[in-house]
C-alpha cells in the first residue's frame, strides 16, 4: 500500500495537477495561483477547452455528424463555464465561428484515433491524504486494457513537458484506486506527438515526496509570511506576477 508522509500542519490546501506543474516550474507562480491570482483567459485556452468537450462527447455518444458539429459545439459551450469565457474574451459571432472551425479540424484528426477499451471521459478524482489537504485531478480519458488502465491526457497544441502532469495523475490514481495504472500517456491531437510511460511504485513515491514537499513549503511560507523561491523560464512570459520579478524579466528578455 502506498502511503502519504506526515505533513506540516497549516492552512487548508487543494492541490491540482496544474498547481503542481506550476510549482515545479516556479514556486512563486504557484503561490500566486493559491492566492487567487491567475493569468488571463486566452483564445487558445478557450479553443482547447471546447475541443476537450467535443472529444468527450464523441467518446461518450459517438461520432458527431458534420452538419451537426456547430450546434454540438454551441451546446457544449452553453453547458460549461466556456459560456462565461465567450464574454470575457470578447468573442464576437464571427470569431466564435472561426474557433469552431479550428476545433472541427482537430476533431477530424481525433476521429481517426482508436478507441478500443474506452471506459470513461473527464474522470475526476479527490483524495485527502491528511485533514485539510485535498489532491484533485481530472483525467481526460481512461481506457481499460490488458496491461491495466491507460490514462490519457489530450493536448490541442504542442506536447510540452508532460511528465510532471502525468506523474501527478499516476500518483492520484494509485492513492485513490490502490493500484498503479498500466500506462499514462499525453498526446497532441494537433501534432501527433505522444509521450507515454509505465508508472512504477518508486516513481509514484517520488511524486508523493515532491507533492508533500510543496505543501510543506507553501504552508511554512503562509505561516511566516515569507516568500517562496522564484525560477525563471519560458513560462514567465504569461506569468500574472511578472512585475517586479527579476528572474522573470531576465527570462523574458532572453526568450525574446
Residue-wise pLDDT tens digits, 48-68: 999 999 999 999 999 999 999
Determine the Cα–Cα distance for residues 103 and 147; give it in Å rounded to an integer. 32
Same domain, residue pair 220 and 129: yes
Share of the chain above pLDDT 90, in %: 81
- Mean pLDDT score, 139-148: 96
Which grid cell sits at 137? 485531478
Same domain, residue pair 77 and 100: yes
3-state secondary structure of 33: helix
**Domain-terminating residue out of 58, 91, 110:** 110
- Mean pLDDT score, 162-170: 97
Question: Containing domain of residue 143, as a range?
Answer: 13-38+115-224
Handedness of CA 78, 83, 87, 91 (dihedral sign): negative
pTM greater than the 0.75 cutoff: yes
In a domain, 2, yes or no: no
Q: For the chain, how many structural domains are there in total? A: 2
Amino acid at each position: 500500500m502506498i502511503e502519504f508522509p506526515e505533513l506540516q500542519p497549516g492552512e487548508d490546501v487543494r492541490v491540482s495537477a496544474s498547481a503542481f506543474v506550476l510549482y515545479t516550474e516556479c514556486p512563486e507562480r504557484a503561490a500566486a495561483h493559491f492566492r487567487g491570482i491567475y493569468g488571463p483567459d486566452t483564445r487558445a485556452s478557450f479553443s482547447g477547452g471546447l475541443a476537450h468537450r467535443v472529444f468527450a462527447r464523441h467518446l461518450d455518444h459517438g461520432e458527431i455528424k458534420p452538419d451537426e458539429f456547430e450546434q454540438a459545439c454551441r451546446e457544449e459551450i452553453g453547458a460549461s463555464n466556456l459560456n462565461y469565457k465567450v464574454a470575457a474574451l470578447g468573442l464576437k459571432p464571427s470569431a466564435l465561428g472561426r474557433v469552431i472551425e479550428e476545433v472541427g479540424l482537430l476533431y477530424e484528426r481525433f476521429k481517426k484515433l482508436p478507441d478500443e477499451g474506452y471506459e470513461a471521459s473527464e474522470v475526476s478524482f479527490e483524495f485527502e491524504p491528511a485533514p485539510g489537504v485535498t489532491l484533485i485531478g481530472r483525467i481526460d480519458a481512461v481506457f481499460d486494457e490488458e496491461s491495466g488502465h491507460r490514462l490519457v491526457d489530450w493536448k490541442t497544441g504542442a506536447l510540452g513537458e508532460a511528465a510532471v502532469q502525468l506523474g501527478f495523475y499516476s500518483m492520484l490514481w494509485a492513492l485513490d484506486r490502490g493500484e498503479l495504472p498500466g500506462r499514462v500517456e499525453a498526446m497532441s491531437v494537433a501534432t501527433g506527438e505522444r509521450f507515454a510511460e509505465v508508472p512504477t511504485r518508486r516513481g509514484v513515491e517520488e511524486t508523493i515526496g515532491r507533492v508533500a514537499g510543496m505543501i510543506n513549503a507553501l504552508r511554512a511560507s503562509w505561516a511566516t509570511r515569507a516568500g517562496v523561491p522564484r525560477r525563471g523560464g519560458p513560462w514567465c512570459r504569461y506569468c500574472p506576477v511578472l512585475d517586479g520579478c527579476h528572474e522573470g524579466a531576465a527570462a523574458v528578455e532572453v526568450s525574446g
